[in-house]
Every structure is written in structure tokens, then in C-alpha cells.
Chain A
Amino acid sequence: QVQLVQSGSEVKKPGASVKVSCKASGYIYTSYYIHWVRQAPGHGLEWMGVFNPTNTRIKYAQILQGRVSMTRDTSTSTFYMELSNLRSDDTAVYYCARPQVDGTEVDAFDIWGQGTLVTVSS
């Protein structure tokens, strides 16, 4: 069964960093890009960036440049998204998502993680 399983909820203080994990299973994880999307409470979906697991290249949403990084652990087929210098408006559910077609950077997302709530509060 193809799935992405994310780490649990986090509560962080402003200025801290958070690292969310996304474990891939049921498919060859190096064959598909991984995207990160977030959703603030009561708001819509915001694309954060995309990670190429073949060469580890990343494209970020410009608004997050300098604060977000994306990595992987090949030994566990796990992807990570780390957001630094957290602010209250970073409070959101963070999703990892997989494109429908292997080797395609930009495509419809047919597989999503269950989401990770990150709360930023002093």
C-alpha cells in the first residue's frame, strides 16, 4: 500500500525551529518528487516547495526562502521539512504530498500524508 506517514503534532515557541518527517512506503521513494503544502487554521492550501530525491535539489516558495530546508534519509525512506525562525503565522497543518507520475516534478498529488499540526505560541 502506497502511503506517506508523517510525524506527530508539535508546539514551538516563536523563533524556534521545527522538523516534520514524512515516511514513504509501498513504492520506490527515489522515483517520485515530494512536495510540502501547508494549511493555516481556517485557510486554504499553500505550496511550500518540492524536493527531488534523486539529486536532492529543492525549489522553494519564495515567501519561505531562507527559512525552509528539505532533506531525506535514504536508510529509512523518510523525507524531512525543517522550518526555522518560527512565527505565529506559521501555525498550520503541514502536509507532504506525492505527484501522480514518477519522475515528474509538477503534477497532481494523488498521495498525501495525514498532516502534522505545528502550533507556534509563546
Chain B
Amino acid sequence: DIQMTQSPSSLSASVGDGVAITCRTSQKIFKFLNWYQQKPGKAPKLLISAASSLQSGVPSRFSGSGSETDFTLTISSLQPEDFATYYCQQSYTTPITFGQGTRLDIK
């Protein structure tokens, strides 16, 4: 199975700050890496697919980068609605695996 190491596990920031969340995989997955946002009591929402492809309707302050084994989700200028938990996911092969999540809190 492909292991996903996501960091940090939690992060405190203020509105207007920029933050970065990283995801490292145990083997090369090219660009088969996706990012989700999850709010309490809700299903995950797809933000970015294929490492850097922003989904329709997702604000441009979200961006993704990386390839092979190292990936980053960057949020520039945090807005109040961005405080949530973020997960990376590899879609290179089954079993599909997720990072353990990064909880982003308001400082």
C-alpha cells in the first residue's frame, strides 16, 4: 500500500495569513494526488485534483503543486470559511489511501 505522510497534523493561523500543507508518498505517484477540505459534519469536498488542477468554483487562493512523492497545498490569504480539515489522497492505485489530515484552526 502507498503510505501518505501529511504535515503538519494541525496548524493555527489568522485570517489573511498564507499557509502550506505538505503530503509525502511512500512511492512515486506522478501527479495522482488530490486535496479535499472537510468541515464538521460534512462530506469531504474536492479542491484540487491531479496535484494542481483547481476544481470549478474553488477560490483561486487555493493552489496545489508537486509531483512524484512530494506535494503541497497552499492557501494564500486565509478567509474565515477556510478553517477546516484538509486531506490528501492518492488516486494512483488501489487501495486508495489518504493522509491523516491537517486541522486548520483560527489563531
- Asked if chains A and B come from one complex, the reply is yes
A44 x B97 contact (CB < 8 A): no
A45 x B98 contact (CB < 8 A): yes
B91 x A95 contact (CB < 8 A): no
Interface size class of A (residues with CB under 8 A): 20 to 34
> Which chain A positions have C-beta within 8 A of B46?
100, 108-110
Q: How far is the CA of A108 from the CA of B36 in the complex (A)?
A: 9
B46 CB to closest chain A CB, in angstroms? 5
> Which chain A positions have C-beta within 8 A of B89?
45, 108-109
B92 x A114 contact (CB < 8 A): no
Tell me which of A35, A47, A115 has the highest count of chain B C-beta atoms within 10 A of its own C-beta. A47
Q: How far is the CA of A46 from the CA of B96 in the complex (A)?
A: 9
Number of residues on chain B facing chain A (CB within 8 A): 23
B43 x A108 contact (CB < 8 A): no
> Which chain B positions have C-beta within 8 A of A59?
94-95
Q: How far is the CA of A105 from the CA of B91 in the complex (A)?
A: 9
Is A89 among interface residues, defined by CB-CB distance under 8 A?
A: no
- Within 66-122 of A, Cβ neighbours of B (below 8 Å) are at 95, 97, 99-100, 105-110, 112-115
A107 x B43 contact (CB < 8 A): no
> Which chain B positions have C-beta within 8 A of A61?
95
B94 x A46 contact (CB < 8 A): no
> Which chain A positions have C-beta within 8 A of B96?
35, 47, 50, 106
> Which chain A positions have C-beta within 8 A of B91?
99, 106-108
- Within 57-107 of B, Cβ neighbours of A (below 8 Å) are at 87, 89, 91-101
Q: Select A108's contact among B34, B95, B97, B100, beta carbons within 8 Å.
A: B34
Is A1 among interface residues, defined by CB-CB distance under 8 A?
A: no
Nearest B residue (CB) for A106: B91
A44 x B99 contact (CB < 8 A): yes
Nearest B residue (CB) for A105: B94
Is B49 among interface residues, defined by CB-CB distance under 8 A?
A: yes
Q: How far is the CA of A35 from the CA of B89 in the complex (A)?
A: 13
Q: Select A44's contact among B32, B34, B101, beta carbons within 8 Å.
A: B101
A residues sitting closer than 8 Å to B (CB atoms) are: 35, 44-47, 50, 59, 61-62, 95, 97, 99-100, 105-110, 112-115
5 A-B pairs closest in CB distance: A112-B43, A108-B49, A108-B34, A47-B96, A45-B98
